[in-house]
Chain A
Amino acid sequence: DAKTTQPPSMDCAEGRAANLPCNHSTISGNEYVYWYRQIHSQGPQYIIHGLKNNETNEMASLIITEDRKSSTLILPHATLRDTAVYYCIVRARYYGGSQGNLIFGKGTKLSVKP
């Protein structure tokens, strides 16, 4: 079973920030938080990952609480193209091998509306 809990759906107005929450209360010290998204009829796409510090890249920001039991993915200026299912995944550091498989939950369906 997935180790994360996400709301099934969220709406966001175009141009506004989209804040997607994820609970991972059983996360262990060596586990990272990954975010992927899946646009309709496409395969999942890597967005960002983090361990304990907040992270930012060209796509998004990831805010992880101090106790690491939850995190928020932030899309600062959502566009219609950001409409997708967003998956929060917790997994250990990858050293190679099949433990690298990602365990997806059902994710959050984000709808960006004009």
Chain B
Amino acid sequence: GAGVSQSPRYKVAKRGQDVALRCDPISGHVSLFWYQQALGQGPEFLTYFQNEAQLDKSGLPSDRFFAERPEGSVSTLKIQRTQQEDSAVYLCASVFKRDNINEQFFGPGTRLTVL
């Protein structure tokens, strides 16, 4: 596809349920970011991949959050034992590096609602 895609677009989970959110970045983009966006706030960094390597996971809010990108393309963000405070939009971005300028291409996000 031409852009970053994410699935599902909407997910409703019961508290305590595990969820998996998928990101398909633009083909050939080496770097990939995950962000969390709470209602009324700007996106906040969660984690970063370069190819299959997760080089920074400092933004993950707890050990219930886990991300992977095993083949350096598709990435999955998994949240175990979801809590109400996990309700947010989860955004994925892949990076086109041009003249050392970071242009991030974002997907539409997955809106997670935990009941």
Instruction: Using known A-B contacts A94-B101, A98-B48, A104-B44, determine if residue A43 contacts B55 with beta carbons closer than 8 Å.
Output: no
Q: How large is the interface on A (under 10, 10 to 19, 20 to 34, 35 or more residues)?
A: 20 to 34
Q: Which of B40, B93, B100 contacts A43 (CB 8 A)?
A: B93
Interface string of A94-114 (1 = CB under 8 A from B): 111110111111110000000
Q: Which residues of B contact A106 (CB under 8 A)?
A: 40-42
The residue that B31 contacts in the complex, of A91, A96, A103, A105, with Cβ under 8 A, is A96
Which chain A residue has the least Cβ–Cβ distance from B98?
Answer: A94
**CB atoms of A107 and B102 under 8 A apart:** no
Asked if B100 and A94 sit within 8 Å, CB to CB, the answer is yes
Contact stretch, chosen from A12-20, A44-52, A71-79: A44-52
Which of chain B's residues have a CB closer than 8 A to the CB of A32?
101
A96 contacts B45, C-beta separation under 8 Å: no
- Is A69 an interface position by the 8 A CB rule? no
CB-CB under 8 A from B92, the residues of chain A are 43
Chain B interface SS verdict (over half) = strand
B50 interface residue (CB < 8 Å to A): yes
Given A49-B101, A91-B102, A93-B100, A104 and B108 touching (CB < 8 A)? no
Using Cβ atoms and an 8 Å threshold, which residues of chain A touch B18?
none
Interface centre among B91, B102, B104, B109 (most CB of A within 10 A): B102
Q: Which residues of B contact A (CB under 8 A)?
A: 4, 31, 33, 35, 40-45, 48, 50, 55-56, 58-59, 91-93, 95, 97, 100-109
Enumerate chain A interface residues (CB-CB to B < 8 A).
Answer: 2, 32, 41-46, 49, 87, 91, 93-98, 100-107
